[in-house]
């Protein structure tokens, strides 16, 4: 073998080591130093794992008509539960969700906002209070409050739930969430979803 061939092979081996060193180093850090591992979480809201299919709800509308799961199937839904009257923080949350929904532009039609009030006697008052400012807001009261509480577990008032177009409860946001992150979540969900 000539000196030039040995030199050429040595250069090839050194180039291979140079380009593989970052991969080897990354693998070593991944397995040896777990604190350097990424969290693997890209969503802001708390995922409900596994997604829970909503039981067939029986909800009453302001006009007295009862609706079931068909009322939310086929669309993404933000569902916010309140116990009684819609106070200032409730109105602010509804306004923020409306503005966030508007930022979806044409995709906003894929997303519904639902206010679920536990006290059915407040439906008319809430419709009068919120109807002008939020004409697209759907206000329902459950016929069975225990079933509604079981369907939306561990929720303090003002918690916003995300229900997918198939009727599965799949994410929740604590009251007063960071709306830019909520918008990012819903955009990502709509981009990867082929339904709703």
User: What is the reported pTM?
Assistant: 0.75
- What does the pLDDT look like over 100-156, one tens digit per residue? 999 998 889 999 999 988 888 888 999 999 988 999 999 998 888 777 777 776 667
Query: How large is the average pLDDT for residues 4-33?
Result: 81
Rounded to whole angstroms, how far apart are CA atoms 182 and 101? 10
Q: Is residue 135 part of a domain?
A: yes
Are 147 and 175 contained in the same domain?
yes
Residue matched to tokens 């073998």: 1
Q: Which tokens in the block code for residue 4?
A: 């030039």
Q: Is residue 41 part of a domain?
A: no
Residue 20: which domain range? Answer: 3-36
Residues 22 and 85 in one domain: no
Q: Do residues 169 and 85 share a domain?
A: yes
Kindly state whether residues 23 and 77 are assigned to the same domain. no
Q: Give the per-residue pLDDT at 146.
A: 76
pLDDT for 29: 76
Chain position carrying tokens 């519904």: 112
With CA atoms as reference, report the closest residue to 72 among 156, 165, 142. 165
> For the chain, how many structural domains are there in total?
2
Residues near 97 by Cβ (< 8 Å), separated by ≥ 6?
78, 80, 113, 160
pLDDT of residue 39: 63
Q: Say if residue 196's pLDDT is above 70.
A: no
**pLDDT given at position 99:** 93
Domain membership flag for residue 67: yes
Same domain, 20 and 117: no
Q: Looking at the structure, do residues 32 and 51 belong to the same domain, yes or no?
A: no
Q: Based on the fold, state whether residues 28 and 109 are members of the same structural domain.
A: no
Residues 30-47 have a mean pLDDT of: 73
Instruction: Read off the pLDDT of residues 55-107 as tens digits, 9 standing for 90 and up.
Output: 877 888 888 888 888 888 889 999 998 887 888 888 999 999 999 999 998 88
Between 179-192 and 88-102, two packed helices, what is the crossing angle to 10 degrees? 40
49 has pLDDT over 80: yes
C-alpha dihedral over 88, 90, 91, 93, to 10 degrees? Answer: 120
CATH number at residue 143: 3.40.30.10
């Amino acid at each position: 073998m000539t000196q030039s061939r040995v030199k050429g092979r040595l250069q090839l081996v050194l180039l291979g080591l140079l380009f593989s060193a970052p991969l080897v180093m990354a693998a070593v850090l991944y397995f040896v130093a777990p604190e350097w591992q990424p969290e693997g979480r890209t969503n802001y809201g708390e995922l409900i794992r596994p997604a829970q299919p909503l039981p067939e709800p029986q909800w009453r509308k302001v006009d007295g008509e009862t609706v079931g799961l068909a009322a939310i199937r086929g669309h993404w839904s933000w569902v916010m539960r309140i116990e009684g009257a819609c106070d200032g923080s409730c109105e602010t949350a509804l306004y923020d969700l409306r503005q966030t929904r508007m930022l979806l532009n044409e995709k906003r039609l894929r997303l519904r906002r639902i206010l679920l009030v536990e006290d059915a006697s407040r439906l008319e008052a809430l419709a009068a209070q919120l109807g002008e400012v939020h004409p697209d807001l759907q206000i329902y009261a459950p016929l069975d409050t225990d079933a509604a509480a079981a369907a939306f577990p561990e929720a303090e008032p003002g918690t916003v739930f995300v229900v997918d177009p198939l009727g599965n409860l799949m994410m929740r946001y604590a009251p007063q969430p960071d709306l830019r992150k909520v918008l990012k979540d819903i955009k990502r969900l709509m981009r990867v979803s082929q339904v709703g």
